[in-house]
Structure 1
Amino acid sequence: MAESNTVPVKLPSLLDTDLYKLTMQQAVLKHYPTAQVTCSLRLSQDELDWLKTACPYFQSEYIEFLNSFQLNPADEVDVRWIAKGSDETGSEAKGSLEVNVRGLWSNVILYEVPVMAIISETYFRTMDLDWNPDGQRELAREKGMALMQKGILFSEFGTRRRRSLAAHEQVIAGLLEAQNQVQGTPNYGRVLGTSNVMLAKKFGLQPVGTVAHEWTMAIAAIEGYEHSNLRALQQWDAEYQPPTFTPHQPSANLTIALTDTFSTKVFWDDLLSCDQGIEILRRWRGVRQDSGDPKAFVLRAIDVYKRIGVDPSEKLTFAQQSGIQAGFGVGTFLTNDFDKKSNPSEKSRALNIVIKMNSINGHPTVKISDELTKNTGDREEIALVKRRFGLEGKESVEDA
């Protein structure tokens, strides 16, 4: 039974975060070490030693940086309650939480995941108690079985919006039970890993992840929107490709391109407009969709790869269509799927929370997904970017 618990939610480890935050932090340290963007934790020696083996792309200089790294929320995080009404007792219980993080990009990049996880867990410990925590392991096992019996390969991506760390651990345990049950059956799927670095260590899984939208958002704001997708991939190349790093296995290959920072149409147009972009498309491992129509996305990817002389079956995409390798990232569906205690036939809704970079070095940063009416950032900057890329008045990337 869910009971009110006023004990503050604390991070158990600096590694209780998504892998892409660490891969981006290493790249930020190299390329943008002084960039400013608008509870002290340290890694243990055991965690550092494990990182060196599990994530061979982390260079010794970055491991040394992490060894002395500390979050400083007292100076870098500002939390405000914005009241929007009173409940029947007269208290200002209705409203929204505003969180602002400011500091060097290389330092504050790690806040997004733990802040979101702490807000979610605190809310469901103290405010919304009408939910039943029981049965999460079995539910995850059933979901895992359903996916794996269809031959689906997927990763667990549920840290940021999880109901709690304890529930998260039960989910991974259930998925691994399902994997053990389906092993040996024809064409079975499997869990490729988890984005949560700490839980990857605990459960013996591969930490998985590459890059987030903020990488391209920041580079565009700092250096301009012209060829911003291409520049973002080239900067990533400089960190995670030979001679800096040579992948020895697929899980260590971080060349999966995220396409929809300014819409997938803009991404394809940018890379196909020059030899450097086409070379990256040919060489990189694949692409990842994060918004829009999965079928349209994959059909377009297949068309692009064929046009530049690449066999689509050699590429990986995080959406499914015949003729191309597919992998999936599953998040809130696994780590925040609960029934109400008062009415088990009704779902207890997860919080709708998001943290995005909104400026870097004083310049607004924006994101324009493939659902072109769903944008993040300063309105004037969004309008400017849409005009720049010819996206004005469009509802979706398919209309552009």
Structure 2
Amino acid sequence: MIQSILDNDLYKFSMQQAVHTLYPRAEVQYTFINRSNTRFPRGFANLVQTEVQNMSGLRLHPEQKTFLKKRCYFLTPVYLDFLETYQYDPAEVSIHQEGHDLSLHIKGPWYRTILWEVPLMAIISEAYFKATSQNGVSVAERRRTNREKARILSENGVKFADFGTRRRFSASNHDQVIQDLLDIENPTLIGTSNVHLALKYNLVPIGTLAHEWFMFHSVLHGYQMANPAAQDAWVRVFHGDLGIALTDTYTTDVFLSTFDTFYAKLFDGVRQDSGDPIEFTDKLVAHYRERHIDPKSKTIVFSDGLNVDKAVRIHEYCQGKVRDAYGIGTNLTNDVGVSPLNMVIKLTRCRPATDKPWRHTVKLSDDQGKHTGDPKELENCMNLFYIKKLPG
């Protein structure tokens, strides 16, 4: 299912470089979270384990390294030499199944384990639909749908990227989607988060950083300083490149409380990954204006559960207010007539070095349904920021 070491999202490689540079002794644990309580067929864990074992044979090939040098100019020679020697270690992944419940944990050095999340989710998704004999609609129908989406986005001037690796129906369908999105007149596909497909179709690999970067810094510096500390560390590694900040790890309001004029000018823009996109747009436009920054010089990347209609609606609202771009995921790569899995793999514990104690990590969100982490630690974090837990 995973045939290339680059069959992963760019932000995993950019974060791996940052971890390799700044936190080479850090250790972490990730946990699979089955949000929809999907019932996995018996023997499913063995299917996933087989695919995990197969990943140990993946290596970075010379032509892939050359592509990264040319297209990912922010990746250093030191990091690329490291990646050339990297190989997945299946011992870092533990998979168990009791009845229809699947549990999965990733544990080990952060600079190594950081690459597992995205391909593991892609494996779980593809393996599930194969194991349950869910084939979806015909390939011809999928292709018509893909081209129609590309046409609508193009006609409305919506610039978008494929963000669909994690919950795709299959690797082959993902590949076909990219072909179809490009197979129209004047496509507005600007790139893909999937580095393997970026190489194959000569697209721009797109991505910056994920919630785990901020979550780790909460352990180093506390929740109140996690956002600015994470941004400072990011800038130390990339010196202004990859300048799209993620706002909602501890809610956007908390993020903006420390996103002062310095950071607002330094970063090219922000990514919206939860909450109401229209309210978010108004909030960011006002925030920039209050700091005497022209919002039209900044970019909002919208990536929260998008479909074509939602992207068009947000784009229309953003006109004349702020630059906008869209990362569309599952609606592109798993719109084949099945119900996509609602799952995540999140950082749940970490420590800066082996002689330090393990600490729980949590993620809030602008949607309380997306809060993840140890319940007691979640409560502590929410109390610190005076965030009330909704009933039910």
Q: Normalising by structure 2, what TM-score? A: 0.85
- AA aligned to 1:376 is T
Letter in 2 for 1:19: L
Matched, 1:121 2:138: no
Whole-angstrom distance in 2 between the partners of 1:107 and 1:156:
25
Separation in 1 of the partners of 2:106 and 2:350?
Answer: 12
2:347 alignment partner, SS class? coil
How far did residue 50 of structure 1 move?
1.0
Structure 2 Cα separation of the partners of residues 279 and 376 of structure 1: 30
Residue identity opposite 2:276 in structure 1: D
Match of 1:206 in 2: 204
**Residues 1-400 of structure 1: matches in 2 within 5 Å?**
9=1, 11-38=2-29, 39-40=55-56, 41-73=58-90, 75-83=91-99, 95-135=100-140, 136-178=142-184, 181=185, 183=186, 190-241=188-239, 253-272=241-260, 278-319=261-302, 320=314, 321-322=318-319, 323-339=321-337, 348-361=338-351, 362-393=358-389
SS in 2 for 1:337: coil
C-alpha distance in 2 between matches for 1:373 and 1:168: 28
8 A Cα contact 1:19 1:197, kept in partner = yes
| 2:156 maps to amino acid | K
The Cα shift of 1:393 comes to 3.4
Q: Distance in 2 between matches of 1:236 and 1:394?
A: 33
**Letter aligned with residue 328 of structure 1:** Y
Gaps in structure 2 of 5+ consecutive residues = 30-54, 303-313, 352-357
The answer to whether the 8 Å contact 1:260/1:370 transfers is yes
Letter in 2 for 1:258: L
Q: Partner residue of 1:248?
A: none
Instruction: Identify the range of structure 1 (295-304 vs 126-135) with the bigger mean alpha-carbon deviation.
Output: 126-135
**By how many angstroms is 1:129 displaced?**
2.5
* 1:124 shift after superposition: 1.1
Q: How far off its partner does 1:130 sit? A: 5.0
Deviations 1:264-302 (A, max 9, x none): 000001223xxxxx2111121001100000011010100
The offset of 1:338, in angstroms, is 1.3
Quick check: 132-141 or 55-64, which moved more?
132-141
The structure having more radius of gyration, on CA atoms, is 1
Distance 1:17 1:106 in 2: 15
Contact 1:263–1:372, Cα closer than 8 Å, also in 2: no
Aligned residues: 343
In structure 2, C-alpha distance between the alignment counterparts of 1:304 and 1:262, rounded to whole Å? 18
Deviation at 1:223, TM superposition (A): 2.6
Amino acid in structure 2 at the alignment position of 1:57: F
Give the distance between the partners of 2:13 and 2:253, measured in 1 at CA.
28
Q: Which runs of 4+ in 1 moved over 6 A?
A: none
TM-score normalized with structure 1 length: 0.83
Structure 2 Cα separation of the partners of residues 123 and 225 of structure 1: 37
Higher mean Cα deviation, 282-291 or 216-225?
216-225
